[in-house]
Structure 1
Amino acid sequence: MTLAILCSGQGRQHREMFALTGDAPEAAHLFAHAATLLGGRDPRDFVRSEPDEALHRNRASQILCTLQALAAMAALKGAIPHGAINAGYSVGEVAAWGAGVFEATVTLDLVARRAEAMDAATRAGDGLIFVRGLSRGDVDRLCRRFGAAIAIINPGDAFVIGGSRGALNAIAASARATHAAMVVDLPVEVASHTERLVEASAAFREVLRSAQVTFPPAAGARIVSGIDGATVVSAEIGLDKLAAQISQTVQWANCLEGCFEAGATTFLELGPGQALSKMVAYIEPGFPARSLDDFRSLEGVRGWIARHLGA
């Protein structure tokens, strides 16, 4: 029985995202460190009091979402078994590397640098939209027509598309006209995982050169690469992919398949949000898949893990 840990990306931040992790003593140092990256603001106060716009600003949102994953890992350390599989969606992939490869506070620093590199390479008005219900071929044609690119491929003909605001508006209108099941403007200010951020990939790779890594990962953890769904078997190659991910398509459907192929039988999404655990349920309805947001206490999470892994 094997646990897969899924680290969420930005976009699902909410006021109570630290409800379970915010008071965990094991995570206190992480909240303190994140505050130094947020201008001295305690992250728990930040999410409760800042306007939505601030909550979804690129740098802050990447720090907040990574903090949530790392805080959950710290609080659940005794419950997460040896050999867990770790996969992360977008910035969540950096958090996944915090499960035994990067030290946790270093991971937060790296995410802040990643966001800064992305902001520096971003053109005004860039962003992302979500489209469900069109074929891959149809989405490719729309992207070529309007000068955008597929940023993330999710299960079930679901795509995140990145580009300029003009291109995204045109694609959204065309997708609706061709009866796409869902078209949503995402609260993200950068065209993540497209060639528009190739300079950010290069800058982040330079940052990663000075990062201290533990490889193979501690506690037998396995890391799944976002751009191909393969297990990372070399620190150097894995770091190349982690940097390239900023400007290349994230193959999230392949990542989930990679988790299944590696033997995952139970999936826990660390949040914020429930998007990733719902994707698992879509692919394999019989597999246990939950998000931290589904629980009222960490003790409940620990009990759920123990029940489903036969501990």
Structure 2
Amino acid sequence: MKHAYVFPGQGAQAVGMGKDLYDNVPEAKALFEQANEILGFRITDIMFAGTPDELKQTKVTQPAVFLHSVILAKALGVGPDMVAGHSLGEFSALVVAGALSFEDGLRLVSKRALAMQAACEAQPGTMAAILGLADEVVEQACAETDGVVVAANYNCPGQLVISGAVEAVDAACEKLKAAGARRALRLPVGGAFHSPLMEPARAELAEAIAEAPIHTPVCPIYQNVDAKPRTDPAVIRENLIAQLTAPVRWTQIVRNMLADGATEFTELGPGNVLQGLIKKVNAEAAAESRSTL
């Protein structure tokens, strides 16, 4: 029996997330208050009772999702055999596996959010979900389109998100519709995440990641960049730095975890997107999502 814990990324947030933990678990309340101190604003006020628009600001969303996932995992006292996180969720996974401290993880996530926000403002971009085509077809269409457009999130078979400059993404969508895509749909995101347009954010974050102490985790972490189980702090650091401009290989991560003996997946944090994706990678996989105790 191997238990895999997985952690969601930006987009999973919902008003009220984490409030029951704050109200019912003294250790959780202490961690939330520590987070308010570290961030310099009361993120708990926005998480528990803000508006969806307030929660949607990148500088709020990323730390909020991270905090919900990590504090829930600590409250449950999880002992994972393997971990992974989707994009931002990789930072939650690293903290739960003991590779990063809670404080360092939160500081990096906050820096990442601000750096990504700045990169989005400097160079507008977008993302689009492509449904119903093989990965190779999508990759080829991106390669043949002028401008910056790349495969960004390999979410599950037949669902790939592309990312890049607005005109290039739109042009690739037209090509992919013509190639038989069931849908080619622009996503309501603030920028071209996991594409070369995130290079300024990657460079900025690289410095902070280089300085953060990364320890040997208690179990392997399957990283977004190469989908392989990693325990070497030097490799983990390198992959974390590369993550912002590289694709999220979620399909490959789930397949590798299953091949390495994962018998049960638990998604910790807001939403249940990853649980659904895991089932689409392998309908037999035992997957659940938990957002509360």
Q: Is the 8 A contact 2:83 2:222 kept in 1?
A: yes
Return the match for 2:263 from 262, 265, 270.
Answer: 265
Q: Per-residue CA shift, 1:155-208, capped at 9, x if unaligned?
A: 212111111223333334444454422334333313121112223223222111
Find the counterpart in structure 2 of residue 104 from structure 1.
Answer: 102
Tell me the secondary structure at the aligned position of residue 14 of structure 2.
coil
Give the residue type in structure 2 aligned to 1:26. Answer: E
CA distance in 2, matches of 1:38, 1:182: 39
Give the residue type in structure 2 aligned to 1:21. Answer: L
Pair 1:57–1:183, CA change in 2 (3 A): farther
TM-score between the two structures when normalised by the length of structure 1: 0.84
CA distance in 2, matches of 1:191, 1:30: 32
Find the counterpart in structure 2 of residue 134 from structure 1.
Answer: 133
Which structure 2 residues correspond to residues 181-200 of structure 1 after superposition, within 5 A? Answer: 181-200=182-201
Pair 1:129–1:290, CA change in 2 (3 A): same
Q: Is the 8 A contact 2:43 2:60 kept in 1?
A: no
- Structure 2: segments with no counterpart, 5+ residues: none
CA distance in 2, matches of 1:275, 1:146: 32
Find the counterpart in structure 2 of residue 28 from structure 1.
Answer: 29
Tell me the secondary structure at the aligned position of residue 265 of structure 1.
strand
Q: Is the 8 A contact 1:57 1:188 kept in 2?
A: no
Tell me the CA shift for residue 276 of structure 1. 0.8
Tell me the CA shift for residue 267 of structure 1. 0.3
Tell me the secondary structure at the aligned position of residue 190 of structure 1.
coil
Find the counterpart in structure 2 of residue 305 from structure 1.
Answer: none
Give the residue type in structure 2 aligned to 1:56. Answer: K
Q: Per-residue CA shift, 1:52-84, capped at 9, x if unaligned?
A: 33322222211111111111111111xx23x52
Find the counterpart in structure 2 of residue 93 from structure 1.
Answer: 90
Q: Please tell me the root mean square deviation across aligned C-alpha atoms, in Å.
A: 2.2
TM-score between the two structures when normalised by the length of structure 2: 0.89
Aligned residues: 288
Pair 1:16–1:176, CA change in 2 (3 A): farther
Runs (4+) of structure 1 moved beyond 6 Å? none
CA distance in 1, matches of 2:270, 2:118: 26
CA distance in 1, matches of 2:129, 2:246: 17
Q: Is the 8 A contact 1:58 1:188 kept in 2?
A: no
Find the counterpart in structure 2 of residue 121 from structure 1.
Answer: 119
- Structure 1: segments with no counterpart, 5+ residues: 299-311
Give the residue type in structure 1 aligned to 2:5. Answer: I
Find the counterpart in structure 2 of residue 210 from structure 1.
Answer: 211
Give the residue type in structure 2 aligned to 1:127. Answer: T
Tell me the CA shift for residue 21 of structure 1. 3.2
Pair 1:20–1:276, CA change in 2 (3 A): farther
Q: Is the 8 A contact 1:11 1:186 kept in 2?
A: no
Q: Per-residue CA shift, 1:208-242, capped at 9, x if unaligned?
A: 12212321x2xx32211111111113101110101
